[in-house]
Amino acid sequence: MQALIERIKRDGRNLGNGILKVDGFINHQVDAELMDACGAELARRFAHLGSTKILTAEISGIAPALMTAKYLGLPVVYARKAKPVTMPNEVFLTLTPSHTKGRTVELIVSPEVLGSHEKILIIDDFLATGQTIMGLVRLTQVAGSSITGIGALVEKTFEGGRALLQSLDVPIESLAIISSMADGRIVFAE
């Protein structure tokens, strides 16, 4: 999606070690107009799947998931990283490594909001190693639901996440695909 690519070119920063700083418009401060356009595009790409809910990870996935849900008319469930007292004692929980946090994080979902036989569309801000998305897949599977598709705003192909997710045999869509971040550059795939 050209608007997102142009914004990354203008305001994104390569911090090294595969870290792309986009917190001025995606995941700390959010550009609502850009997220709305991204949500509309993701919804267009996944409209035919018959999804019943969107699942994402707290917190950076919430904005693109909400905007996608707006256009698909679906509720959004986000996996929490800490269990609030309002959740039941029995929860769906998985552990996943976080590249940007430099540690393992919990992903927790209440069975009250993720039931069996749901058709889940996963939307997140990044597809890099695929570990966070695989954590969301595990939560979906343990709930007894199925994955209909996976969408990301930004994909870093050099981190291998798509290959990890290919075995799920679902559509995978990314709006901006980065093929390299070597030598301080940000190179987009053609």
Model confidence pLDDT, tens digit, residues 102-150: 789 999 999 999 999 999 999 999 999 999 999 999 999 999 999 999 9
**Structural domain for 58, as ranges:** 2-188
Q: Is 7 helix (H, G, I), strand (E, B) or coil?
A: helix
DSSP string, 39-107: HHHHHHHHGGG--SEEEEETTTTHHHHHHHHHHHT--EEEEBSS--TTS-SS-EEEEEEETTTTEEEEE
Q: Facing residues of 173 across strands?
A: 151
Residues 6+ apart with CB under 8 A from 108: 79, 80, 81, 82, 83, 87, 91, 92, 93
Q: Is 185 helix (H, G, I), strand (E, B) or coil?
A: coil
- Kindly state the percentage of the chain with pLDDT values over 70: 99
Q: Please give the pLDDT value at position 187.
A: 97
As a whole number, the mean pLDDT across the chain is 95
Mean pLDDT within 74-79: 98
Q: Please give the pLDDT value at position 189.
A: 96
CATH of the domain at 151: 3.40.50.2020
State the pTM of this model.
Answer: 0.96
Domain count, the chain: 1
pLDDT digits (tens, 9 = 90+) for 32-43: 999 999 999 999
CA distance 49 to 54: 12
Q: Please give the pLDDT value at position 98.
A: 79
